[in-house]
Amino acid sequence: MSQLIDQRYQILDMLGRGGMGVVYRAMDRLTQQTVALKQVTVSVDWLAFSRSHESNRLLSLAVEFQVLAALRHPHIISVLDFGFDAHRQPYFTMELLTAAQPLTRAAAGTPQTTQVRYLAELLQALAYLHRRGVIHRDLKPGNVLVQANQVKVLDFGLAQQHTVGAQDAPLAGTLAYLAPELLTHSPASIQSDLYAVGLIACELFHGEFPYQRQDLAVLLNEILHTTPDVSDLPPALADFLTTLLAKNPDERPTSAEAALDMLCAAVTQPPPPETATIRESYLQASSFVGRDQELATLAAALQATINGQGSTWLIGGESGVGKSRLLDELRIRALIAGVTVVRGQGVEGGGLSYQLWRDVLPRLILGIELSDLEAGVLKDIVPAIDALLNRDIPAVPPLDGRAGQQRLALTIADVFRRQPRPVLLLLEDLHWAEAYLEPLKQLLAIADQLPHMMIVGTYRSDERPDLPAALAHMQLLPLERLAEDEVAALAASMLGADARRPDLVRWLTQQTEGNIFFLVEVVRALAEEAGRLADIAAMQLPETILVGGVQQIVRRRLGRVPEWGQPLLKVAAVAGRQIDEAVLEQIIHADDPHLLAENRLASWLTACAEAAVLEIREGRWRFTHDKLRETVVRDLPNAEGQSLNRRVGAALEAVYPRDPAYAEALLEHWHRAGDLDKEIVYLAPVAERLIDIQADYARAQHVLERGLDRLPEDDPRCAALLNRLAATWRNRGDRERAQAITARAHQLALHFGDQREAARSLSSLGTIAASQGVYAEARTYFQQSLTFAQAAADHKRTAQSLNNLGAVAAHQGEYAEARAHHLHGLDIAQAIGDQRSVASSLSNLGMLAVREGLYSEAWDYYRRGLALARAMGDQRNIALSLHNLGNLAIRQEAYAEARGYLQESLALAEAIGQQRIIAGSLVNLGDVALRQREFASARLYFQRSLSLVKALGDQKGIADNLLHLGEAALWEGAYADARAHLQQSLALAQTLGDQLATAHSLHRLGLVALRGGEAATAQAYHQHSLSIYAAVNAEPELLMVVSSLAEVLHARGDRVRAAQ
């Protein structure tokens, strides 16, 4: 079979078919695990549900699936995922049991002690299900399997309804195992499940089913009126079975725990240890209240998205106010509507690089075709992409800084753009994801191109009140605390109608101020005092919560994790909200190599889930609320916190050796462990990634300054850290501070003979000098950097230094020297495979060829650069190459071609937010319009560009735009305006020391003077510009000025010189 379910599950073969649906063996393309997938083929109207009472039965089914997927117990099969396929047919997946047998077959011929153990495990599983409000409804030996000598209960919670007679109400379950009351229209219950256990127990002990099944009428009569004969069993065991099989459900045990106690007493065995309490099921299943308006708003937006009108939302509120639950409700509605739902979450401290997107992208990748370049760009944050796409994905050339961010963001945006179905993107805890918001901002920038996409993010308004300003395109939806009537509704859902007692509601509102998380915790604490949830409404309320308030109540909940599980709970809290099972297994194994870590971990996860400290969300374990994790970490003594961070760090290194994705997490763990040497090992590479890949300069500064504060000032490792710290300030525009820090780094590098860092610091100093127009000083720095780089055999730095020297030489009009440097740098970059440096060299050589009038050569360099930029997915350099090609086309008067290049450059630059390229493309588009005498259009282009460069503080760009505005005014005959613009341009160019820009302004001022009849003034301007062009060897401009000077001389009557 080759059928794909929901683009994720590859059907391999059919395992079985039942009344409710078909079960397949399937490959989960996301996890590469083989699972069992059950497609529900009967009408939803014929399904019975354990706990949902929604009028929309499809919605009820989705709620039921969500409950089942959150259950984890050693004796129930794990429901891993659920959804609705392209035809809106429901399905769910489970762990695949291999070599499993039905309980009765597995128990046949075994000692009674084994049979009793199997029954005890079945009752433990039922106790767990019942506490969470799940009635099995269809217990039979085929749904109770034994694998590896352990019971596994499956197919719980859902059952098909059957009709016994034409006038009878539908019944749920397999007829032979139905309790008598179900045949008389009573609802399924704990007692009806226990009756089925009694029948299974009879089969275990007798080897056959106690009723006659060949004739339906006889079967129904025996179920209603005949008590199976168990007199051959020991009296206590016989009494146990007789009680389970009582025709009156009120005579059966009240719970699976009670039945388990009876069984153990009958065989004189102690009951297995059990720590959970029945009230947890009610607390975890509390109703969704107080958010009807917000849910209605989001549901309407979801429907609009399905109809082709997408939207973006930002849900704000304090911790514990109910943001995640609101997303859960929206997710269910999206799934049943056939929407693809993906969910990401920010992690305190940042987590792995681009943590927010790691759970989002794999699901989306499955449904589209990706090129090798696109897949390679995503590989850093989707490490398993080779397996997902079933092909080897080659590495892509790295891009530094903002270029790398833009390439990734645009690739992610394209993944969303190409989805075949509407998409709901849920992003939780954005207040912790600031470093990785670039893809989100890119999606927001092109939201109008994604009509079938809805984005909903959440954030803690008490932690990042300014986040809405940073995500201004998103509609804000604030969540306030619950009002008193909403507190009453939530209390009633947990405690019953009596909980609406006015004094109780007022008390709960005062103590919790309407915070949902606090309210549930307070109810837990009251239940412990009252004994039962139902007794809270009648109890005498204390004046206030326990000493220590809600924080102390949170600690009480944490205390419900068994004592043996507390050490691992602390480790997990230190590791983060998401549970990394591989890391915890490594820690367990390190503590006791003889202990089977997997079994120990499974028991711990179950114990924590029963204490409502952990939950499973979409197949992954995590703390039910981050306040729980935060409390564990906050309460750790300093020494213990350091020790735990050390253990987590060591485990991460063992499980993910040399994986750069974990470098930042390891940096934090070793910092908190107080291990300075380990911290420094990760500090430099983390800082480089933050600066060069993520452009997160603030975070880089924080970790670098923190590390430097702990190192002695004369430590040789400081040079590398100072160089990277200087880069953060340089990239943020603080050249003075960058220069001072770089100078310190250079002194240290020289002192310790660190040639590599000396080359880096000199290169940085040269870049600062060049940006200030001090080219002689910049050349000295770059030459020295080249010397150190060559001595250190640092080929990448050597190529960069040569390119820098070439750029400085070009600025100084020394074109032959510039060409030699660029060609040398190109050779080295090609030899070491540094594609980014190759692209830089090609661009520099192209600009140099233009200055020398070698247009054919320039075309070749620019086109090669464009091809390379496209191959790398370097959006900035693609836009820049297109801009350069457009500029070159203008020089050759190929205006239609120029306009095409420039419009493509402008569109791409706008998509990636490259303001300088936008400004450059606008000014060149204005130039095209001007040369085609489209004066109004030209002025608009120039004015738009001028506004941008003014906002950027780009003085050279301002001078350039004023020059073009002056030229436009000149062509239109507005000589006064032209002179004003050109004089401003000239003043700026002279202040900047930009010789070419100065000459351009002087030449245009000469043209204005000539048109105004001031021939002598015009001649002076032209001669001045001519001397500058000659000094910098600008041949195309020389020819142009000579022609203008001839015109001036002719106007003054000096025809001989004009002819010369």
C-alpha torsion 519→524→526→530, nearest 10: 150
Q: How far is CA 151 from CA 98, 109, 142, 143, 460, in A?
A: 13, 17, 12, 10, 43
Cα separation of 706 and 557, whole Å? 36
Strand partners, 145: 102, 152
To which H or E segment does residue 154 belong? none
Which candidate in 28, 138, 429, 794 is catalytic? 138
DSSP secondary structure of 491-527: HHHHH-GGGG-HHHHHHHHHHHTT-HHHHHHHHHHHH
Q: How far is CA 323 from CA 360, 639, 849, in A?
A: 19, 35, 59
> Is 138 an annotated catalytic residue?
yes
* Structure tokens that stand for 954 in this block: 């780009």
Residue 172 φ/ψ, nearest 5 degrees: -105, 135
Residue 906 φ/ψ, nearest 5 degrees: -60, -45
**Packing angle between helix 975-992 and helix 995-1011, nearest 10 degrees?**
160
Cα separation of 126 and 87, whole Å? 34
Cα separation of 132 and 609, whole Å? 11
Cα separation of 141 and 151, whole Å? 11
Cα separation of 357 and 226, whole Å? 61
Cα separation of 453 and 441, whole Å? 14
SS3 457: strand
Closest by CA to 1043, choosing from 1058, 1027, 1056, is: 1058
Closest by CA to 872, choosing from 411, 336, 415, 354, is: 411
- In this structure, the chain runs to a length of 1060
At a CB cut-off of 8 Å and minimum separation 6, what does 712 contact? none
Cα separation of 416 and 446, whole Å? 11
Cα separation of 1013 and 996, whole Å? 26
Indicate the pairing of strand 101-102 with strand 144-147: antiparallel
Cα separation of 830 and 793, whole Å? 16
Cα separation of 1003 and 1020, whole Å? 10
Q: Known catalytic residues?
A: 138
